Amino acid sequence: MKHFNPDEKGYYGQYGGAFIPEMLQANIIELQEHYLTIIKDESFIVEYQQLLKDYVGRPTPLFYSNNLSKQYNAKIYLKREDLNHTGAHKINNTIGQILLAKRLNKKRIIAETGAGQHGVATATTCALLGLECTVFMGAVDIERQKPNVERMKMLGAEVVPALSGSQTLKDATNEAIREWINNPKDTHYVIGSVVGPHPYPDMVAKFQSIISEEIAKQLMEKENTDKPDYVIACVGGGSNAMGAFYHFIDNGHTKLIAVEAAGKGVDTEETAASITLGQKGIIHGSMTYLMQTADGQIIEPYSISAGLDYPGIGPAHAYLSDIGKVTVEAVTDEEAIQAAFHLTKTDGIIPALESAHALAILEKVKFNPSDIVVVNVSGRGDKDMLTYSKYFTHEK
Ligand SMILES: *Cc1c(COP(=O)(O)O)cnc(C)c1O
């Protein structure tokens, strides 16, 4: 049993599956029946790999940070997903899914977005491959991620505000699903994380698994081992973490740490720590951990980081955390901000607020000097400059 693969119904243990309205059955079944055949096809692999190399700029560097290594007394490597075209890991998945959509003869792409990174990656890929693109985004996120909204528009996408609920990622996802129900035939819905009904969690995990594939190769060159002692990644829906963990899950050695957003703290009402605080429930088509009230109402999540502001978690992470293959930590807004300023100062890298949550773990774990630690820097911080600049006055 490989722990990163679901069974044929899309279950990771008791999590996952496909809980969808009747109107989406045909689309989902079409995907379930074809995704593995398509993504294992030689001509697909060649086209996908070529675009990752020449368009996205892969492989992304695995950077040994001298300064962090000295400070934390371990060998600290940063996997530089921030250096991908469009500034985050999201494009590994959008290129994969949109190439797949073309092979299924779809003409139009819809997507949801939180921080805007998935929307930008989707709009970018649609521009490149010549498909129509509509992106749903919470009205609150449109406000706090303005530069990304402008980028999507310049790339030719229509950006539709989601005005329900907390007007963030969950609500944008609801709107995208509604739109898909109304246009099932010629439209493909590009989900941006390892969430949603089967086959999305597995499909997105496979597209993002390029991250751990590269880490293993790069460590073999640099450290003569393909087994790091730690891999640390932030989790919103969980796609960059799943990609960074994928090839290490069953090696019997690597400790995997998933970092969720505590917001103002896991003991406050303003949090997005969905594994720490969640209970089993169904969200966006899959059974997983979910922040909910005693009578099953979804609790509105909160995080300073739009990409982590989601009340659920990919079903694979629910499972891997249950069986102890992944350790889950929660990091507050404040700790993430400190970590972002720290990395900027020590290494001249401004990370995305999401990635800063993963970096904050370096303060919390006691490493051995020989430990090889890989932190996945999922994205760059340009989109977060408005938030960061509010803290300039407090930083010395
Ligand atoms: C979207 C995003 C995330 C969160 O999504 P995952 O699916 O959990 O990876 C994290 N970091 C960045 C930079 C993002 O854009």
Q: What backbone torsions phi and psi does residue 31 show, to the nearest 5 degrees? A: -65, -45
Mutate to test the pocket of ligand 1, among 80, 81, 83, 89 (most ligand atoms within 8 A of CB): 89
Is residue 382 located within the same domain as residue 313? Answer: yes
What's the structural domain count of the chain?
2
Confidence band, pLDDT 50/70/90 cuts, at residue 74: very high
Nearest residue to 95 (alpha-carbon basis) of 135, 120, 122? 122
Is residue 169 located within the same domain as residue 224? Answer: no
Confidence band, pLDDT 50/70/90 cuts, at residue 122: very high
Torsion of CA 353, 356, 358, 362, to 10 degrees: -170
- The predicted pLDDT at position 395 comes to 53
Confidence band, pLDDT 50/70/90 cuts, at residue 394: low
Q: Considering the domain boundaries, does residue 362 fall inside one?
A: yes
The fraction of the chain above a pLDDT of 70, given in percent, is: 99
- The predicted pLDDT at position 3 comes to 77
Mutate to test the pocket of ligand 1, among 90, 256, 304, 309 (most ligand atoms within 8 A of CB): 90
Q: Considering the domain boundaries, does residue 3 fall inside one?
A: no
Overall average pLDDT of the 148-167 stretch: 95
Which protein residues touch ligand 1 with a CB less than 6 Å away?
Answer: 88, 90, 115, 117-118, 193, 234-241, 307-308, 352, 354-355, 378-379
Using the 3D structure, point to which of 178, 204, 230 is the last residue of a domain.
204
Overall average pLDDT of the 122-126 stretch: 98
Using the 3D structure, point to which of 151, 176, 204 is the last residue of a domain.
204
Which listed residue (75, 90, 106, 170) is catalytic? 90
Coil vs helix vs strand at 234: strand
Distance 376 CA to ligand 1 centre (A): 11
- Assess whether 164 carries a catalytic annotation: no
Coil vs helix vs strand at 46: helix
Q: Considering the domain boundaries, does residue 235 fall inside one?
A: yes
- Minimum CA distance residue for ligand 1 atom 3: 307
Distance 235 CA to ligand 1 centre (A): 7
Q: Considering the domain boundaries, does residue 6 fall inside one?
A: no
Atom of ligand 1 nearest to the CA of 240: 9
- Assess whether 370 carries a catalytic annotation: no
- The predicted pLDDT at position 99 comes to 98
In sequence order, the β-bridge partners of residue 379 are 88
Domain, as residue range, for 75:
57-87+209-395
Give the lowest-confidence range in 51-55, 97-101, 295-299.
Answer: 295-299
Is residue 281 located within the same domain as residue 200? Answer: no
Distance 118 CA to ligand 1 centre (A): 8
Is residue 83 located within the same domain as residue 94? Answer: no
- The predicted pLDDT at position 155 comes to 98
Mutate to test the pocket of ligand 1, among 81, 120, 173, 378 (most ligand atoms within 8 A of CB): 378
Overall average pLDDT of the 198-215 stretch: 98
Give the lowest-confidence range in 142-146, 150-154, 248-252, 278-282.
Answer: 142-146
Is residue 108 located within the same domain as residue 130? Answer: yes
- The predicted pLDDT at position 396 comes to 47
Give, for 84, the enclosing helix (H) or strand (E): none
Is residue 245 located within the same domain as residue 349? Answer: yes
Q: Considering the domain boundaries, does residue 4 fall inside one?
A: no
- Which residues are CB-contacts of 281 (< 8 A; sequence separation ≥ 6)? 287, 288, 289, 290, 292, 296
Confidence band, pLDDT 50/70/90 cuts, at residue 221: very high
Q: Considering the domain boundaries, does residue 1 fall inside one?
A: no
Coil vs helix vs strand at 262: strand
Give, for 171, the enclosing helix (H) or strand (E): helix 169-182
Which listed residue (102, 286, 378, 383) is catalytic? 378
Is residue 133 located within the same domain as residue 66? Answer: no
Is residue 67 located within the same domain as residue 151? Answer: no
Is residue 71 located within the same domain as residue 160? Answer: no
Is the distance from CB of 240 to CB of 376 less than 8 angstroms? yes
Using the 3D structure, point to which of 204, 230, 245 is the last residue of a domain.
204
For the segment 79-120, what is each residue's pLDDT rounded down to a tens digit?
999 999 999 999 999 999 999 999 999 999 999 998 899 999
Distance 192 CA to ligand 1 centre (A): 9
- Assess whether 193 carries a catalytic annotation: no
Overall average pLDDT of the 236-265 stretch: 97
Q: Considering the domain boundaries, does residue 244 fall inside one?
A: yes
Atom of ligand 1 nearest to the CA of 243: 9
- Which residues are CB-contacts of 302 (< 8 A; sequence separation ≥ 6)? 166, 263, 264, 269, 270, 271, 272, 309
The fraction of the chain above a pLDDT of 90, given in percent, is: 92
Whether the predicted pLDDT of 166 surpasses 90: no
Burial class for 281, CB neighbours closer than 10 Å (0-12, 13-18, 19+)? middle
Give me the CATH number covering residue 338: 3.40.50.1100
Is the distance from CB of 109 to CB of 122 less than 8 angstroms? yes
Is residue 336 located within the same domain as residue 382? Answer: yes
Is residue 179 located within the same domain as residue 260? Answer: no
In whole angstroms, give the CA distance from residue 115 to residue 85. 16
Is residue 148 located within the same domain as residue 68? Answer: no
Q: Considering the domain boundaries, does residue 179 fall inside one?
A: yes
In whole angstroms, give the CA distance from residue 306 to residue 233. 16
- Minimum CA distance residue for ligand 1 atom 10: 354
